[in-house]
A and B are shown apart, each in its own frame.
Chain A
Amino acid sequence: MNNTIHIPPDGPKPYANPYLAGILLGLVLLASFVILGAGLGASGGIARMGASVSMCVSAPHTLGSEYFGKWGAKPLNYYLVFMFVGTFIGALFSALLANRMRIQVERGAAASVKRRLGYALMGGLLAGFASRLAQGCTSGQALSGGALLLSGSIVFMLCLFVSGYATAWFVRRQWYD
């Protein structure tokens, strides 16, 4: 990948103390509970985009389907869609501020772009599907539901780590240097 971004001589700034970043994230989550009455979410917004794509392909089919159908003809009119856009904007702000914006396929030096993107696509497909099934992802279920101490969310989080560790070995080559 050609790097078209101008890199200032001082390079990217290091990441924040993870515990303090965690506290910041926790406070944002708390604000979300107090203001919206609902936690953070990412996959919900993405699924709405999926429904929107589906509407473009065939509106009657989408409206007639049992899952997307209940979101109506304008699935993007939903607070989580806006939250998702905000997530992008906030991260962009932080990345620019810390000079961490790099257009690249992040991977191990010895791994091919094809392998990495193939895994990313497949992983995305699974995560997108799974987050619909579980009604949330790491943000909505594990983090937000976990902070509310919901049994299902904590079970989701445990399962996520168990299968993540079980899978990691098989997909390790994408990170080989």
Chain B
Amino acid sequence: MINTLYSLDTLGTPMAFFLALLIGIGFGFALERAGFSSSRRLAGVFYFTDMAVVKVMFSALITAMLGLSYLTAFGWIHMDKIFFMPTIYGAQIVGGLLFGVGFAMGGWCPGTAAAGLAAGRIDALVFLVGTIGGSILFNELFPIIGGLYRAGDQGVQLVYDTLGMSRNAFILVFTCVAVTAFWLAEWAEKTRMGRSAYLGSPFLKAFSLALVAVALGLFVLSPASTAVTRAPTGLATAPSADEKILMAKVQEGRDHIMPEELADRLMAGESDLMLVDVRPPAEFNTYRIRGAVNVPLTQLAETLQPRKNKGVIVLYSNGMTHPAQARDSLQRQGFVNVYLLTDGLQGFRDICLKPVSLRPEPMSAAAVARINAWRTFFTADDVSTLVGLATPLASGPKPHVVETDWLAGRLDAPGLKIIDLRPQPEYNSAHIPGSLSLNVESLRGNVGGVPSMLLPATMLAAQFSLLGLNPSDTIVLVSGDKLHDSTLAGMAFERLGHLNFAVLNGGYAKWIHEGRPADSALPAVAASKYPASQDADRFTVDFGTVVTALGKPGTVIIDVRPTDFYVGQKSDEARAGHIPGAQNRPFTEDVVTSSNKVVALKPRDALSAAYALMIPSKDTEIIVHCRTGHQASQTYFVLKHLLGYSNVRWYDAGWTEWAARRELPVVNVAQVGGR
């Protein structure tokens, strides 16, 4: 079995470029041999003076079609190793009609013009300049004609399926049509020009017979393709070779996963299984299968890109229609590892979660135990797994998230400084004993014309000195209802190279809700001399770095603003929309707010799963940004300190600056009328 470069996902490598060059040489050679380096000869097809286009093109098409069918029948190559273009009727009908006008006018098509240029044709050069211009024009008009580009998208459609024929029957008919076309072409030349090289010649008779015989041979060699089937060539479901072992777990050749199997595999904690809930966020937040991540349909392809053909992706919704459509769309984009949960969420509930007592059928003890295990696992409250984020602050790396319990036992610890980031009136009325008040906005100011920038190290050090802090202190940051106040203060400490800080999970609300001590006394502070380390900040980047990253495939840009700002529906800035290629994950997705106003980070494994979808590996270059840097500090914190991504950068100036700099590119999904 041959693995193509496409199936190995190596079409972008230098090796592929070299092989493509060689194949191109063969292509150009064949075109020139055929006389396709002459516009007069090419255009002749439209005046019946020279029918070479019909003869060459159909000979080539039939040769490749029959060749591929034979290779498949011999089992040397599988159709799923080949890229199949989607059928998009609107675009291809209008495109075909326009193209025909261009072909007849210009006397060239793009490939033959390259051959014509090689044979010295200046009209070919002019035609090529035109095609480059036409491509640029298309790009410029794309916002207007994007709808047409996708009009009538059918996915991968094979013509014999469309016509309801078997593959072999269609191939035979198609071959006969081509042979007829050859004879008609010769006849047309004879009628129009008075001469025909091959009409009735022994060569054409033998050639015609040979083609039909080869097409008939398929009925013997590949009887399976004689049956009328739906898309047997499935770009569909067959996994590529290196995924085989993994995929073998999934029912072979099926695109569904049964609820029982999904449940078992989720409980086993398979790390390469990604469960995606495609329902609206509101429904997801109300109820979901444990371990699922929520991805809106519109962002599916973009978000799942890092998991393309890696592991198994399972889609589910309430029913089957949306996931099936999403799966089809993903397949068209080359995903072969997308599966559907049979009967969706309802099926999962009925089969896995329905209490044994409510089931009419008799059950074995083993079946009962299995169902009870599922119920225990999948009905466990998500929030109950919140605890355990922090480990005791002993030796080893210090945790960056601490729980109230941890802090309560260390209130008097030497070198531990608690910083309360809530508004001053709240601090004044009551705070954790000994805590220092700090207004997070005092850490920011106008830097170089951009408002709300984290202040330079010297100014931060001056403030820390007034607070009496020292580089050796362990800092605990306490916020009110904004966890990102703590993480922004954390950025200030990081800028000074002070990494020994932690965020109190749940903030002051959790502390007081648990009935822990509080007072209103102001602590005694002796000013210190906090040194201004200048070179500790290697994580803040400016717009230039972001622009450079735009062209670098590996970099993941995460826009943490609310989705309506990301898409451009809402805006407080000069321009609406987002940075090209940026993915959206609102910072609010990383926290849960409970009924008593306690804002805490989501469970680590939920965050880990969600970001694993967006970011290929732990050392991927990541840039996070929001509007002013405040919200993005929280995502930065989650990625870097909680999940251990090593290469996270913070674009502090964020959308405030990007939107105002008109030379920077912006994508506005809301404006171009959706995807």
Contacts and interface: CB of A to CB of B under 8 A. Distances in A.
Interface of B: 2, 4-7, 11-12, 16-35, 37-41, 43, 45-47, 52, 55-65, 67-68, 71, 77, 81-89, 91-124, 126-140, 142-143, 145-146, 148-149, 154, 156-162, 167, 170-171, 174, 182, 198, 203-204, 207, 547, 550-553, 580-581, 663-667, 672
Contacts of A19: 55-56, 59, 182, 198, 203-204, 207
19 contacts: A19-B203, A21-B33, A22-B63, A25-B30, A33-B82, A34-B2, A36-B19, A46-B110, A46-B128, A50-B134, A72-B550, A79-B17, A85-B21, A87-B24, A101-B118, A101-B119, A124-B106, A136-B85, A141-B95
Contacts of B97: 130, 159-160, 162-163
B68 A147 contact: yes
Contacts of A5: 120
A163 to B, nearest CB: 3
A73 B182 CA distance: 46
Contacts of A162: 97, 100
A84 B98 contact: no
A129 B98 contact: yes
Contact of A126 (B11, B25, B129, B134): B134
Contacts of B95: 130-135, 141, 156, 159
Contact of B159 (A25, A34, A154): A154
A110 interface: no
A24 to B, nearest CB: 5
Contacts of A140: 85
The majority secondary structure among interface residues of chain B is helix
Contacts of A95: 32, 37, 115, 118-120
A124 B160 contact: no
Interface string A63-104: 111111110111001111111111111111111001011111
A150 B207 contact: no
B4 A171 contact: no
A87 B203 CA distance: 29
A126 B99 contact: yes
A91 B56 contact: no
Contact of A132 (B6, B134, B157): B134
Contact of A127 (B82, B92, B99): B99
Interface in A109-148: 116-117, 119-148
- The 8 tightest CB contacts between A and B, nearest first, are A124-B130, A64-B665, A86-B24, A123-B106, A73-B551, A22-B59, A128-B134, A26-B63
The majority secondary structure among interface residues of chain A is helix
Contact of A153 (B82, B92, B100, B666): B92
Contacts of B207: 19
A163 B96 contact: yes
Contacts of A168: 43, 46-47, 104
A95 B40 CA distance: 16
A86 B117 CA distance: 13
A133 B136 contact: no
Given A18-B35, A83-B20, A150-B85, A107 B98 contact: no
A52 to B, nearest CB: 9
Contacts, number: 581
Nearest to B174: A149
A13 B4 CA distance: 37
Given A36-B11, A149-B160, A137 B107 contact: no
A139 B64 CA distance: 13
B23 A36 contact: yes
B672 to A, nearest CB: 7
Contacts of A150: 84-85, 87, 156-159
B105 A119 contact: yes
Q: Which of B111, B137, B182 has the most CB of A within 10 A?
A: B111
Contacts of A93: 25, 28-29, 32
Nearest to A163: B100
Given A147-B65, A159-B93, A175-B40, 5 more contacts: A26-B62, A32-B27, A37-B83, A124-B113, A127-B127
A46 B71 CA distance: 31
B228 to A, nearest CB: 14
B46 A100 contact: no
A15 B142 contact: no
A166 B98 CA distance: 11
B26 A31 contact: yes
A80 B11 CA distance: 10
Q: Which of A49, A84, A90 has the most CB of B within 10 A?
A: A90
Given A128-B134, A151-B154, A151-B157, A21 B98 contact: no
Given A19-B204, A153-B85, A123 B102 contact: yes
Contacts of B87: 150-153, 155
Contacts of A81: 17
B104 A18 contact: no
A10 B119 CA distance: 18
B524 to A, nearest CB: 54
B27 A28 contact: yes
Contacts of B143: 66
Contacts of A18: 34-35, 52, 55-56, 59
